[in-house]
Amino acid sequence: HSMVVGNLAERAAEAIGANPLLAKVGGLYHDIGKLTHPEYFSENLSDHNPHDKLSPHMSFLVLSAHVKEGGRLARIHNIPKAIVDIIQEHHGNSSMKYFYEQAKSNDPSVTEDAFRYQGPVPQTREAALVMLADSVEAKIRSMDKVDSNTLKRTIKDTIDEKFEMGQLADTNLTTRDLNLIASSFQTIMEGVLHRRPSLEIGEGRSAYPDNPDQEF
C-alpha cells in the first residue's frame, strides 16, 4: 500500500511541479503508525476481524490512533519535520464514515465529529498528494472489478470529494493541478492493475463490505 501511495504521490508531484522526493518519502512513511497494532487495519486482516468484538467508537479510536502514533515514531527516529507533517495531515479532519454510520444506527444522537480525525488538513501540496494517493489506492484495492473507465471515475470522484470536504483548502492546488493529478494517478494505477490481474477479475477485497472505499 505505502509503496503504491509513494509512487502515486511522486508522479503527481512531478506533474504539478511540487517536490517529488518529499511526496514519495511522505507516501512511504505516512502509515508507520500502523506498526504498533497492524492487525486492526484492512490491508492486514485475515479471516478474523478484530473489529467484530469492538464498539464502533472503540474501532475508530484504535484506527485513528495511527496518525498520532506515526508522528511519535517519526520524531523518535529523527525523521524530518516535513515528513512528520505529512504523516499527521494525511487524513486531515475527515470522518471515519463506516464506523460513524454503524454507531448512528445504534444511537441516533451520535455526531459525526466524534468519528473525525484531529487533522490538521494538508498544509502543503505534497501532503495533499499523499492524502489523495492514499484514498485512491485504498478505494481501488477494495474494488471487485476495475476497468479503465471505472478507474478514471473513481479517481475523479475521490479527488472531487476531498476538494468538496475542504481537505485541500489550505493548499494552493488549482483546478489544472487536480486534473494533472488525476491523469498521473490513472497512469500509475493502470500499471499496478496490469501487474495484479486478480483485481480485474473479481478478487478485490474489503474488510468492511458495507463501505468498501473507506481508507484508514
Task: Please identify every stretch of the chain with a pLDDT value under 50, giving residue numbers as ranges.
Answer: 197-213
pLDDT for 29-53, tens place per residue? 999 999 888 777 877 666 777 787 8
Residue 94 cell numbers, joined: 475527515
pLDDT at 39: 73
Say if pTM beats, i.e. exceeds, 0.75: yes
The widest CA-to-CA distance across the chain, in whole angstroms, is 47
To the nearest whole number, what is the mean pLDDT of the chain? 88
Residue 4 cell numbers, joined: 503504491
Positions of E strands within the chain: none
List, in order of start, the domains of the chain with CATH numbers: 2-200 (1.10.3210)
CB count, 10 Å around CB of 99?
Answer: 27
pLDDT at 203: 38
Residue 8 cell numbers, joined: 502515486
